Chain A
Amino acid sequence: MSIFIDKGTRLIVQGITGRDGSFHAKQMMEYGTQVVGGVTPGKGGQMFEGTVPIFNTVAAAVAATGANTTVIYVPPMFAADAIMEAADAGLQLIVAITEGVPVLDMTRVHPFVKERGVRLIGPNCPGLITPGASKVGIIPGRICTPGPVGVVSRSGTLTYEIVYQLTRAGIGQTTCVGIGGDPINGTNFIDCLAAFEADPATKAVCMMGEIGGTDEQEAAEFVRTRMTKPVVGFIAGQTAPPGRRMGHAGAIISGSSGTAAEKVAAFEAAGMGVAKRPIDFVDLIRARLK
Chain B
Amino acid sequence: MNIHEYQAKEILRALGVPIPAGEVATTADEAEAIARRIGSQVVVKAQVHAGGRGKAGGVKLARTPEEAREKAAAILGMEIKGLVVQKVLVTAASDIASEAYVGIILDRATKKPVFMVSPAGGIDIEEVAATTPEKILKLPIDTRYGLQPYQAMRLGFFLYEDLTKARAAAKIMGQLYTAFMQSGCSLAEINPLIVDTAGQVVALDAKMGIDDNELDRRPAMAALRDESAEEPSEVAARNANLTFIKLDGNVGCCVNGAGLAMATMDLVKYYGGDPANFLDIGGSSNPEKVVNALRIITSDPNVKCILFNIFGGITRTDDVANGIVTATKQNPLKVPIVIRLTGTNEEIAMKILAENGFAASSDMDEAVRKAVSLATGGKAA
Interfacial residues, chain A to chain B (CB-CB below 8 A): 20, 76-77, 99-104, 106-108, 110-111, 126, 138-140, 143, 153-161, 164, 181, 183-184, 208, 210-215, 234, 236-241, 244, 246-251, 255, 276-279
Q: Which one of B109, B126, B144 lies within 8 Å of A255 (CB-CB)?
A: B126
Number of interface residues of B (CB under 8 A): 52
21 A–B contact pairs at CB < 8 A? A102-B217, A103-B106, A104-B181, A140-B343, A143-B343, A161-B311, A181-B258, A183-B108, A183-B186, A184-B111, A210-B259, A210-B262, A212-B108, A236-B263, A239-B266, A240-B278, A241-B247, A244-B245, A246-B258, A247-B258, A277-B267
CB contacts (< 8 Å) of B243 on chain A: these are 246-247
Closest 4 CB pairs of A and B: A155-B259, A247-B258, A157-B257, A158-B259
The B333-353 residues at the A interface (CB cut-off 8 A) are 342-344
State whether the Cβ of B280 lies closer than 8 Å to any Cβ in chain A. yes
User: Judging by beta carbons under 8 Å apart, are A103 and B263 in contact?
Assistant: no
B95 interface hit (Cβ, 8 Å)? no
Chain B hits for A183, CB < 8 A:
106, 108, 186
- A sample of 12 more A-B contacts (CB under 8 A), given A104-B106, A236-B262, A236-B263, is A76-B213, A77-B216, A100-B216, A102-B217, A107-B112, A140-B312, A155-B257, A155-B258, A157-B315, A183-B108, A184-B111, A247-B280
* Segment at the interface with A among B4-12, B24-32, B59-67, B268-276: B268-276
Does B230 sit within 8 A of A, measured CB to CB?
no
Q: Are A246 and B266 in contact (CB under 8 A)?
A: no
* Nearest Cβ on chain B to A31's Cβ, whole angstroms: 13
Chain B residues with CB under 8 Å of A279's CB are 364-365
In the complex, what residues of B have CB within 8 A of residue A213's CB? 108-109
Judged by a CB distance under 8 angstroms, whether B261 is at the interface is yes
Closest to B261 in A: A247
B263 touching A158 by the CB < 8 A rule? Answer: yes
Interface residues of B in 244-299 (CB under 8 A from A): 245, 247, 255-263, 265-270, 275, 278, 280, 283-284
Q: How far is the CB of A177 from chain B (nearest CB, A)?
A: 14
CA–CA, A160 to B267, complex, Å?
Answer: 16
Complex contacts, A107 vs chain B, CB 8 Å: 106, 111-113, 142-143
| A247 and B213 contact, Cβ closer than 8 Å, known pairs A160-B311, A236-B262 | no
Which of chain A's residues have a CB closer than 8 A to the CB of B284? 20
Please determine whether B265 and A239 come into contact, CB atoms closer than 8 angstroms. yes
Beta-carbon contacts of B125-138 to A below 8 Å, as 1s and 0s? 01000000000000
Interface residues of B in 188-212 (CB under 8 A from A): 211-212
Measured CB to CB, the nearest residue on chain A to B244 is A247
CA distance in complex: A239, B260 (Å): 13
With A and B bound together, what is the CA distance between A237 and B257 in angstroms? 13
Per the bound structure, the CA–CA distance linking A157 and B29 in Å amounts to 53
Please give, as numbers and ranges, the residues of chain B lying within 8 Å of A100 by CB-CB distance.
Answer: 213, 216
Whether the pair B344, A140 counts as a contact (CB closer than 8 A) is yes
Q: How does the 8 Å CB contact mask read for B207-228 relative to A, with 1 for contact and 0 for none?
A: 0000111101100000000000
Q: Please state if A160 and B214 are interface contacts (CB–CB under 8 Å).
A: no
> Which residues of B are at the interface with A, using a C-beta cutoff of 8 A?
106, 108-109, 111-113, 126, 142-144, 181, 184, 186, 211-214, 216-217, 243, 245, 247, 255-263, 265-270, 275, 278, 280, 283-284, 311-315, 342-344, 364-365
Task: Using CB atoms, name the residue of chain B closest to A159.
Answer: B259
User: Residues of B contacting A143 with CB < 8 Å?
Assistant: 343
Contact B364 A184 (CB under 8 A): no
Closest beta carbon of chain B to A56's beta carbon, Å: 24
Residues of B within 8 A of A212 (CB): 108
Roughly how many angstroms separate A251 CA and B243 CA in the complex, as a whole number? 13
User: From residue B274, how far is it (CB to closest CB) to chain A in Å?
Assistant: 8
Chain A residues with Cβ below 8 Å from B109 are 213-214
Q: Which chain A residue lies CB-closest to B109? A: A214
* A153 cross-chain contacts in B, Cβ below 8 A: 259
Which of B111, B143, B216, B365 has the most CB atoms of chain A within a 10 A radius of its CB? B111
CB of A236 within 8 A of CB of B259, answer yes
Q: Of B143, B217, B258, B283, which contacts A77 at CB under 8 A? A: B217
Partner of B262, one of A76, A111, A126, A246: A246
> Distance in Å from the Cβ of A71 to the closest Cβ of chain B?
14
Q: Name the residue on A nearest B1 (C-beta).
A: A245
CB-CB under 8 A for A246 and B267, given A155-B257, A160-B313, A240-B278? no
In the bound complex, do residue A277 and residue B365 qualify as a contact, i.e. CB atoms below 8 Å apart?
A: yes
Using CB atoms, name the residue of chain B closest to A153.
B259
Interface centre among B258, B312, B344 (most CB of A within 10 A): B258
Please report the C-alpha to C-alpha distance between residue A157 and residue B186 in the assembled complex, in whole angstroms.
26
Separation of A100 and B217 alpha carbons in the complex (Å) = 12
Q: For residue B200, give the distance in angstroms from its CB to the closest CB of chain A.
A: 31
Q: Give the interface centre of B211, B212, B243 by most chain A CB atoms within 10 Å.
A: B211
Contact across chains for B275 and A110 when beta carbons are under 8 A apart:
no
